[in-house]
């Protein structure tokens, strides 16, 4: 959480970005100096298919308010079909999170190509705004209890 002058709740969002598309796209947003809320801290993986659903749960249980998984558009995956596996896992993950009472806006799967810097910025912006209005997740008290 942010300590300091601003008392506004700043969501902490963990991002898993695939190095071929999403991470490059996110870099492009920076190179283009597009300004967007810095609430997503990126973790680089080779493919969105590397993202184990338990990472997502770990993040939420460790204090994250949201998780963003970003990969190549379906059909464009550098490893041909890695992102297809991500879709499948994500659907099941969503069901599980729903059962835990975790709002679906908190965990998102998005496709960002290497040239979509602007798109990445808008996704982070909208996700931050949505989670901000939902408030902190507080897994320990809200979910585990």
Partner 1 sequence: MVEKIGVYICHCGTNIARTVDCKAVAGYALGLPNVVVARDYLYTCSDPGQEMIKNDIRESGLTRVVVASCSPLMHETTFRRAVADAGLNPFLFQMANIREQCSWISENRELATTRAKAIVGAAVMRVEFNEPLEVQKVPMNPNVLIVGGGIAGIEAALQIADSGKRVYLVEKEPTIGGYMARFDKTFPTLDCAACILTPKMVSVGQHPNIELLSYSDVTDFSGYVGNFTARIRRRPRYVDEEKCTGCGQCEQKCPLSVLSEFDCGLGKRKAIYRPFPQAVPSTPVIDREHCLFFTKGVCRVCEKFCPRGAINFEQKERFIDVQVGSAIIATGFDLFDASRVKEYGYGKFPNVITSLEFERLTHASGPTVGKIVLKNGRTPESVAVVHCVGSRDNNYNEYCSRVCCMYSLKIAHLVREKTDAKVYEFYIDMRAAGKGYEEFYKRLLREDVTFSRGRVAEITDVAQNSSENGKLIVVAEDTLLSIVKRIPVDMVILSVGLEARRDALQVAHIFRISRSKDGFFLEKHPKLAPVSTAGDGIFIAGSCQGPKDIPDSVAQGAAAAANVLSLIDRKEVELEPTIALIDEDSCSGCKICIGLCPYNAISFDEPSGHAVITGALCKGCGVCVAACPSGAIEQQNFTNRQLTAEVEAICA
Binding site for partner 1 (CB under 8 A): 2-6, 10, 12, 14, 19-21, 23-24, 26-27, 29-31, 33-39, 41-47, 49-53, 55, 58-59, 62-64, 72, 75-82, 85, 89, 113-116, 121
Q: How far is the CB of 131 from partner 1 (least distance, A)?
A: 14
Closest CA to 108 of 121, 94, 119: 94
Q: How far is the CB of 42 from partner 1 (least distance, A)?
A: 6
Q: CA torsion, points 52, 66, 111, 121, in degrees to nearest 10? A: -140
- The CB-of-59 to partner 1 minimum distance in angstroms stands at 5
Instruction: Output 30 or 135, the one with its CB closest to partner 1.
Output: 30
In the bound state with partner 1, the residue whose beta carbon lies nearer, of 78 and 130, is: 78
CB of 73 to partner 1, least distance (A): 9
Q: CB of 106 within 8 A of CB of 65?
A: yes
Closest CA to 87 of 102, 103, 75: 75
CA distance 84 to 88: 7
């Amino acid at each position: 959480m942010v300590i300091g002058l601003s008392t506004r709740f700043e969501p902490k969002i963990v991002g898993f970005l695939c190095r071929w598309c999403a991470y490059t796209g996110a870099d492009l947003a920076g190179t283009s100096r597009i300004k967007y809320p810095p609430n997503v801290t990126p973790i680089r993986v080779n493919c969105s298919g590397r993202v184990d659903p338990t990472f997502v749960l770990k993040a939420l249980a460790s204090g994250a308010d949201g998780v963003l998984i970003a990969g190549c558009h379906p059909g464009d995956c550098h490893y041909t079909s890695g992102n297809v596996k991500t879709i499948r896992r994500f659907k099941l993950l969503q069901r599980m999170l729903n059962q835990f009472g975790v709002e679906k806006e908190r965990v998102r799967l998005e496709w960002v190509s290497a040239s979509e810097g602007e798109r990445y910025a808008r996704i982070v912006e909208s996700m931050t705004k949505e989670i901000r209005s939902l408030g902190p997740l507080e897994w320990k008290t809200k979910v585990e209890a």
